[in-house]
Amino acid sequence: QTQLEESGGGSVQAGGSLRLSCAASGYIASNYCMGWFRQAPGQEREGIAMRDIYGDIIYVDSVKGRFTFSKDNGENILYLEMNSLKPEDTAMYYCAAGNDGSCYTFLPTAFGDWGQGTQVTVSS
């Protein structure tokens, strides 16, 4: 049985840092694209960082250089280290799993499995 569960969200001031975790139970990394998404109030869900089946990481431009997607192989936990946070990073953050081709689309519709989300709020 597969399950995704995010944690680590919270409230920080601009310039601060947070590390999100996603416990990916039952997933074999070499078989799935794993992605981080976020959705701000009134906006569409957007993909921000993807890890393909080869372990390559792809970032959307708005987070490149500030966010780092990593994976603890031993525990099958995904991390999103977020630095230099901005108020516009405020959103609900989700991890998701999909087929390898999903990684290169960054589209939420290409991912079939989702966690429940964790809220990140950045104040100015």
Mean pLDDT value of segment 5-30: 94
pLDDT digits (tens, 9 = 90+) for 97-120: 998 888 999 999 999 999 999 999
DSSP string, the chain: --EEEEE--EEEETT--EEEEEEEET--GGG-EEEEEEE-TTS--EEEEEE-TTS-EEE-TTTTTTEEEEEETTTTEEEEEE-S--GGG-EEEEEEEE-GGGGGT--GGGEEEE---EEEEEE-
pLDDT at 43 over 90: yes
Give the pLDDT of residue 73: 74
The yes-or-no verdict on residue 29 having pLDDT over 90 is: no
Residue 69 is predicted with a pLDDT of: 97
